[in-house]
Structure 1
Amino acid sequence: MIRTVPTQPFDGQKPGTSGLRKKVPVFQQPHYVENFVQSIFDTLEGFAGKTLVVGGDGRFYNREVVQKILKMAAAAGFGRIKVGQGGLMSTPAVSAVIRKYGAFGGIVLSASHNPGGPEGDFGIKYNIGNGGPAPEKITDAIFARTKSISEFKIADVPDIDIDQLGETKIGDTVVEVVDPVADYAELMGKLFDFDAIRDLFKSGFTMRFDAMSAITGPYARRILEDQLGAAAGTVVNSTPLPDFGGHHPDPNPVNAKDLYDLMMGPNAPDFGAASDGDGDRNLIIGRGIFVTPSDSLAILAAHAHLAPGYAKGISGIARSMPTSLAADQVAKAMGVGIYETPTGWKFFGNLLDADRVTICGEESAGTGSNHVREKDGLWAVLLWLTLLAKRRQPTLDIVREHWAKYGRNYYSRHDYEAVPTEAANAVMEAVRSQITSLPGKSFGALKVKSADDFAYHDPVDGSDSKNQGLRVLFENGSRIVYRLSGTGTEGATLRVYLERYEADPAHHGIETQAALADVIAVARQLSGIAEKTGMAEPSVVT
């Protein structure tokens, strides 16, 4: 029943910050998926008879790859495979299920916020037993195996019916098709005061949640509408589609423009939110205000104690290096630790496991806590709803009061997408070549305090991660960060992060790009980005 199939390595099967991501036609090549999945299994040890969790965001090619994984996991010797009904399960839900049932690990099928469809993106990521993304030592080993693989093993059986709940067997392996929402919803009910949120909706509070035709639609409908009493239709674009309905499922004001325009208009509901392709990112918009992910992280950390699951307080906060320093102000005021890590949720895992932090987040719209080991879009929305239920103030007022207490970190990210790799590398090298000579230089009112290529020493396991982004820090607290993203599949995405701190509430009402104008000018001057990329303006500004 187990068939051994000869194969040859494919070039470039190197997992990035969130697994292996390529265009769908690349994954559709014969043996491409099988090679990578077999390389995962060949790298792991001690999983015989153990449980594997499998789920994806429903993007194009999801169902076909699920079938391959089920048959290969059975051939590899897993005892039980929990797979989401229809092959669906959000990334944070996969993490929750791994942790609840003590699974050996899980495979997540997603390219997160990247577009889907026959010519879109696809991805495979392995998560370890704590529910989080595999650390670099494992992904490096997987990549090494992909370069020498010569065969894979697969159970020679018909496809499993993944649309019906229940158990079937492949040899000695039990395949259990599970409700992808149930365990996650149960966990949310333990963390948050659902009664308080129900009372909020009963009071006439209105909301719009845009699931962007992606995975969080079923989760948001079940929790927000069915369990919490939000009005029917609160959740829009709620059916996961293989091409996300043509959406670019990255929850930002550009890609969720309909929601943004609604929230800025005269008939805006009280609160707006969205989530991305696989459910791990979030967009928060109050009536008349977009809450930046960096501000959202800081505000949620400051108010986490309002939720029953965090009533005893938090042990610390972690943020990725490019994320604004807003959370640092909160950590300092609360007297808890603040940790600055490279981009990539896997770097938070050790800190969470060691209970050094409770809340963590990234400027790219990812926020989460120690309840799972992934960022979690709907969790962030529910914590915001808890805050709104307890304070009974508009989002705009809550944000302004936060700035008045902690200061405002004006912050923006300029993305230059699909840049030819050589041009992107030239921009980075232009800045890198100036790193040692920049300290002490002045650019108008901005004087450089320090500059470096960020490196991280993990305080838990002692590992080091170098070359994580170029930083230019100014004496007035302003910052510029340059970084190449590892989440795209075409060319390079060059990200430029810009920040200025303003303590005086009298100056908190300036438009963000205007407030950052001098920082933006210096960022472009130092990098020569327009000349080297041919792009006079960024593709996306958030």
Structure 2
Amino acid sequence: MTIRDVATRPYADQKPGTSGLRKKVRVFQQENYAANFIQSVFDVIDGRDILVIGGDGRYFNREVIQIAIRMAAANGFARVVVGRGGILSTPAASHVIRLRKATGGLILSASHNPGGPDEDFGIKYNGTNGGPATEKVTDAIYARTKEIDRYRVVDADEIDLDTIGETHVGDMAVEVIDSVADYADLMESLFDFAAIRAMIAGGFTLSFDAMHAVTGPYATEILERRLGAAAGTVQNGVPLRDFGGHHPDPNLVHAHELYERMMGEAAPDFGAASDGDGDRNLIIGRGIFVSPSDSLAVLAANAHLAPAYSAGLAGIARSMPTSQAADRVAEALGIGLFETPTGWKFFGNLLDAGLVTICGEESAGTGSNHVREKDGVWAVLLWLNILASRKQSVAEILTEHWARFGRNYYARHDYEALPVDKADAVVGGLRDKLDRLAGIEVNGLRIASADDFSYLDQTDQSLSRHQGLRVLFDDGSRIVFRLSGTGTEGATLRVYLERYEPAGGDLGLAVGDALKPLIDAAEALAGIKVHTGRERPDVIT
């Protein structure tokens, strides 16, 4: 085996975000761009045992996997484990890393972002616990990308990614595995598949939109083969390099066909969708949409109905922008509630320390301690387990939940692909006056406090600053302003709006009507229209 050191030069734009390095495909196709980042990962991490590689099958996925395999061999790894066809959902990759006790893994995905030659690509490194690399590691990777001058690679024929089995690149074993089997077995160990099968056999109907993304094979194996749902239950189930030209983000905008189906007269009992890499979920009952924040709260309140969680939860964690609905569940259960910055890596330490069992984000990500990533199919199966146990509809379960805990009316308004200077003007202008807002009345709402959220991780004492601007009102309502790190062009401004209505109050309002005073207050505080010229958000979820 001949190892070559290839001279290269640094790129200045390889700082990983909350979910790794994401750029347009054409950026990754620049000379040595992907190789630079992969070598920077290898230069920083400890261990050269097993490396897991997989992705969501998007455009440029296979090409980068071939590069990564040859570089892993040159960098001394003993074994690479790769999903057949280069496919591994993000939660499945996390499970394989943990199952094999691997050094870590490279997950090739841009999650819910579009795919294709003119769209998005990404590389994320997950550590030995199966979760996204810590900030300490990603900071070290970024520092290395700024000074890298060579990468190591071996000359070798391309690996056949479509045939299960083992081959070698030099001294390194390359094992192509069934992308679905281990994950499906894990799900069967967590949930009462017999009860779900009986419910489906009794006439319960469901529809799952895989969005031509990675979860198609997983959902087909689990829902149709193992649980007995009718053929065709999984729609858009074949992963495509461009996701069929669609945007694989499971929200009411991009999964509108599923939404219309669930709102129709002949709607199935249950509808769900997942995203590009399989870590997000959309839940819709017949005639009712379940917001991600409400879904987290309902799952936490009912998790004990599934075998894996029958002993109860250690705690619940949510990202700061996620609604406070889960807080009330934690209080009722007498368990801890942890509020973290956005990004699943912040949940990893809490999960590893045994402080929490279930975690969730308002951006449609929920998961538990079974892996160290959010997990879309897991959320769908926990919902099905709850439905099978309670023998109620989604609407009935949600209505009873609000009657017990109250309702957190909630929405997120996204302003996408803004010029960076205009997005910074909105956030910077508001940040400059945060310390003067307490006591002021805006649009009939009195501000109790305002701050720039910081998080001290009690497991490792790391401090994360500037995680979102919070404006809290006397009545318990709040508005959060945050710039997202998941886009690849410009900046995305997210505005989170939340109003709490106690049990016994008006729990049946339309969300837009309930939040109208907060929407007006957000504009008055931040001047989004003035700074950006946008009359309305691009996406409301």
Structures share a fold, TM > 0.5?
yes
- Structure 1 counterpart of 2:351: 352
Query: Residue 245 of structure 1: SS of its match in structure 2?
Result: helix
Alignment of 1:95-106 (within 5 A): 95-106=94-105
Q: Match of 1:11?
A: 12
Query: Partner of 1:338: helix, strand, or coil?
Result: strand
Q: Which residue is equivalent to 1:409?
A: 408
Determine whether 1:62 maps to 2:66: no
Equivalent in the alignment of 2:159: 160
Superposition map of 1:20-419 within 5 A: 20-45=21-46, 47-48=47-48, 50-419=49-418
* Contact 2:402-2:503 within 8 A present in 1 as well: no
Q: Distance in 1 between matches of 2:37 and 2:443?
A: 52
Q: CA deviation at 1:505?
A: 3.7
Does the aligned pair in 1 maintain the 2:443–2:520 contact within 8 Å?
A: no
In the TM superposition, what are the counterparts of 1:356-505 in structure 2 within 5 Å? Answer: 356-505=355-504
C-alpha offsets along residues 269-316 of structure 1, whole Å, 9 cap, x if unaligned? 000000000000000000011100000000000011111011110000
Over residues 398-445 of structure 1, what are the superposed CA-to-partner deviations in whole Å (9 max), with x where a residue is unaligned? Answer: 001000000000000000001100000000012112211111111244
Residues 347-371 of structure 1, C-alpha deviations (whole Å, 9 max, x = no match): 0000000010000000000000000
Q: Which residue of 1 aligns with 2:537?
A: 538
Q: Assess if the C-alpha contact under 8 Å between 1:403 and 1:505 holds in 2.
A: no
Corresponding residue for residue 3 of structure 2: 2
Alignment deviations for residues 105-164 of structure 1 (CA, whole Å, 9 cap, x no partner): 000000000000000100000000000000011001001101111111111001011110
Deviation at 1:506, TM superposition (A): 4.5
CA distance in 2: counterparts of 1:345 and 1:53, whole angstroms? 19
Is the 2:410–2:499 Cα contact (8 Å) retained in structure 1?
yes
- Could you tell me how far 1:4 is from its partner in structure 2? 1.3
Shift of 1:11: 1.5
Amino acid corresponding to residue 20 of structure 2 in structure 1:
G
After TM superposition, give the deviation of residue 449 of structure 1 in Å: 0.8
2:54/2:93 contact within 8 Å kept: yes
Contact 1:106 1:128 (C-alpha < 8 Å) held by counterparts: yes
Q: CA deviation at 1:504?
A: 3.9
Q: Give the superposition deviation at 1:171.
A: 1.2
In structure 1, C-alpha distance between the alignment counterparts of 2:184 and 2:261, rounded to whole Å:
28
TM-score (structure 1 length as normaliser): 0.99
| CA distance, structure 2, for counterparts of residue 247 and residue 23 of structure 1 | 16
User: 1:430–1:526: 8 Å Cα contact kept in structure 2?
Assistant: no
The code of the aligned residue for 1:525 comes to A
Given that 1:75 and 1:153 are in contact with CA atoms closer than 8 Å, whether structure 2 keeps it comes out as yes
SS at match of 1:507: coil
Q: 1:506 to 1:450 in 2, by over 3 A?
A: closer
Deviation (angstroms), 1:44 = 1.2
Separation of aligned partners in 2, 1:309 and 1:101: 21
The amino acid of 1:23's aligned partner reads: K
- Residues 303, 309 of structure 2: 8 Å contact kept: yes
Q: Which consecutive unaligned segments of at least 5 residues does structure 2 have?
A: none
The 1-side partners of 2:113 and 2:26 are apart by 15
Q: What CA RMSD, in Å, does the superposition of the two structures yield over aligned residues?
A: 0.7
Q: How many residues align?
A: 540
Q: Distance in 1 between matches of 2:278 and 2:486?
A: 16
| Contact in 1 for aligned 2:317/2:338 (Cα 8 Å) | yes
User: 1:30: how far off?
Assistant: 1.4
Counterparts of 2:441 and 2:150, CA distance in 1: 59
Identical residues among aligned pairs (%): 65
* Distance in 1 of aligned mates of 2:504 and 2:532: 38
Name the SS of the counterpart of 1:312 in structure 2. Answer: coil
**Matches of 1:167 and 1:328, distance apart in 2:** 48
3-state SS, counterpart of residue 432 of structure 1: helix
Cα displacement (A) at 1:500: 0.2
- 3-state secondary structure, aligned to 2:183: helix
SS in 2 for 1:480: strand
Which deviates further from its counterpart, 426-435 or 282-291?
426-435
Amino acid at match of 1:24: V
Are the counterparts in 1 of residues 280 and 376 from structure 2 also a CA contact under 8 Å? yes
Q: SS at 2:381's partner residue?
A: helix
Aligned to 1:59, the other structure's residue is in SS state coil
Amino acid at match of 1:285: I
- In 2, the alpha carbon distance for the partners of 1:73 and 1:470 equals 41
* 1:519 paired residue number: 518
Cα distance in structure 1, aligned partners of 2:388 and 2:418: 44
Letter in 2 for 1:304: A
CA contact (8 A) 1:328 1:338 kept: yes
The separation in 1 between residues aligned to 2:515 and 2:276, in whole angstroms, is 31
Q: Decide whether the 8 Å contact of 1:90 with 1:279 is kept in 2.
A: yes
Q: What TM-score does the superposition give when structure 2 sets the normalisation length? A: 0.99
How far apart are residue 539 of structure 1 and its match? 0.2
